[in-house]
Amino acid sequence: MDRILQIFQTSKRIEDTLFSKVISTDFSLVSELIRDADSIVNFAAETHVDRSISAPEAFLQSNVIGVFTILEALRKVNPSARMVHISTDEVYGDILEGAFKESDALRPSSPYSASKARFRRLRAWICENLWPQRLDNQVH
């Protein structure tokens, strides 16, 4: 409980929005923070492609396990809350010109982009197998 109090004390509130920086792999902490939330926006990520090649474990922890933890906390503690997940166009691979569409195939080319692409697969699996009522795409 002391950690949760510390998070709330160091969080910033603007109107009715609470901004908190937490380690998203801690299920009990994430669950407590989202218990009464209407929406969650997940900006959490390890970044920098070069670093992902030399130290991929941190990317898997934050970008895969962390997002899975948030989804599980939502599913178990606050299933009506919406989640917006911030990702990257790197999940589509390299492009020389033009722009990707969200319907394009995922072609990640580094541990960073592969870890970010896992969110889409995890979300699809969770919605299809564990949380079928969320197939309405409320988890973006």
- From 89, 102, 104, 128, active-site residue: 89
**Pair 85, 119: CB distance under 8 Å:** yes
Is 112 among the residues known to form the active site? yes
User: Around 87, how many Cα atoms within 13 Å sit in the side-chain half-sphere?
Assistant: 22
| Catalytic option among 32, 46, 92, 112 | 112
Instruction: Considering the candidates 32, 46, 90, 92, report the single residue annotated as catalytic.
Output: 90
Q: 92 catalytic, yes or no?
A: no
Alpha-carbon distance of 132 to 6, in angstroms, equals 35
80/91 Cα distance (integer angstroms): 28
Q: Is 16 among the catalytic positions?
A: no
Nearest 5°: phi and psi at 50?
A: -60, -45
The residues annotated with a catalytic role in the active site are 89-90, 112
